[in-house]
């Protein structure tokens, strides 16, 4: 079956039936809103094109990682075009993030290595973009905005690590991975309510790659209009504060939930 899939010329509909199963399209917590809104509609065509090449799913993930890292490098440059370029590269990153898994399902090449590389890509992209933002906000190198960019990047990495370490702790205790239900169940009703209120504001998304790349463009437009770096610098400070706050709140949320039970 794998050989037939990789050597034949399948239609988009045939690939969609295998690469975008209903279980994938219906999930919410593991799928970015942009993926649900528009990227899954585009990614299937990229997957169709990739299926006609020798490119493997892990190589597609490698391209995703490169796109995320390049976005951070480009963002470090001054000017509106750099911000637009970084935002475009993040869209490519998101596109490949959808297509690599679709390609893996179509070719039957799903693997633990692929899952690992995908997580590494998410770590790298968010960190690179926040570091790039710090450099972009800096008038001289290094200054406090550079430091804040690195601090925000470290916070973003640690937040993801807090999530991943739940499964590490459970695996070492002989338990299966935590479910979405356990993540939403709290030992205290008050903490559960507080988490829902915090989630409603979604301030944590400011430091996530897709959202941040779009906010950076708005900040760049504001800077262009005012002839300063005020908006970019304010955004850099906000990202550092949000990352630090989210790091603490996320840890409390995990410890108060039933994910470690």
What residue numbers bound the domain in which 180 lies?
2-256
In a domain, 240, yes or no: yes
CATH classification of the domain holding 58: 1.20.120.1760
Q: Rounded mean pLDDT of 231-248? A: 96
- Please indicate, yes or no, if residue 261 is contained in any of the structural domains: no
Q: Are 98 and 158 in contact (CB under 8 A)?
A: no
Q: For residue 142, is the peptide bond before it cis, meaning its omega torsion is within 30 degrees of 0? A: yes
Structure pTM?
Answer: 0.86
Distance CA 127, CA 151 (A): 10
Return the percentage of the chain with pLDDT > 90, whole number: 64
- How many domains does the chain contain in total? 1
Q: Hey, which residues does 257 pair with through a beta bridge?
A: 186
CA distance linking residue 12 with residue 255, whole number of Å: 44
Residue in 255, 250, 245, 65 with CA at minimum distance from that of residue 151: 245
Average pLDDT over residues 233-242: 97
Q: C-alpha distances in angstroms, 140 versus 25, 33, 112, 144, 184?
A: 46, 37, 43, 9, 45
Is residue 14 predicted with pLDDT exceeding 70?
A: yes
CB-side neighbour CA atoms (13 Å) of 136? 35
The whole-number pLDDT of residue 222 equals 97
Say which range, 45-54, 117-126, 166-175, has the weakest mean pLDDT.
166-175
Is the distance from CB of 203 to CB of 238 less than 8 angstroms? Answer: no
């Amino acid at each position: 079956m794998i050989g037939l899939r990789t050597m034949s010329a399948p239609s988009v509909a045939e690939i969609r039936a295998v690469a975008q199963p209903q279980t994938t399209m219906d999930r919410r917590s593991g799928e970015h809103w942009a993926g649900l809104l528009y990227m899954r509609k585009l990614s299937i065509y990229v997957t169709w094109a990739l299926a006609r090449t020798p490119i493997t799913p892990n190589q597609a993930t490698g391209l995703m990682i490169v796109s995320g890292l390049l976005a951070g490098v480009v963002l470090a440059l001054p000017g509106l075009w750099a911000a637009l370029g970084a935002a475009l590269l993040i869209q490519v990153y998101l596109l490949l993030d959808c297509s690599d898994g679709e390609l893996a399902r179509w070719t039957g090449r799903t693997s633990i290595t692929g899952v690992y590389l995908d997580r590494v890509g998410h770590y790298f992209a968010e960190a690179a973009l926040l570091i790039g933002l710090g450099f972009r906000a800096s008038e001289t190198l290094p200054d406090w905005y550079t430091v804040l960019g690195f601090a925000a990047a470290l916070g973003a990495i640690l937040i993801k690590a807090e999530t991943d370490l739940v499964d590490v702790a459970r695996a070492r205790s002989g338990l299966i991975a935590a479910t979405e239900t356990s993540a939403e169940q709290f030992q205290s009703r008050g903490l559960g309510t507080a988490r829902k209120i915090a989630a409603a504001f979604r301030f944590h998304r400011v430091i996530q790659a897709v959202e941040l790349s779009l906010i950076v463009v708005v900040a760049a437009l504001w800077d262009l209009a005012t002839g300063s770096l005020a908006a970019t610098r304010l955004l850099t400070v906000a990202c550092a504060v949000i990352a630090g706050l989210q790091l603490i709140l996320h840890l409390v949320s995990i410890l108060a939930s039933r994910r470690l039970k």
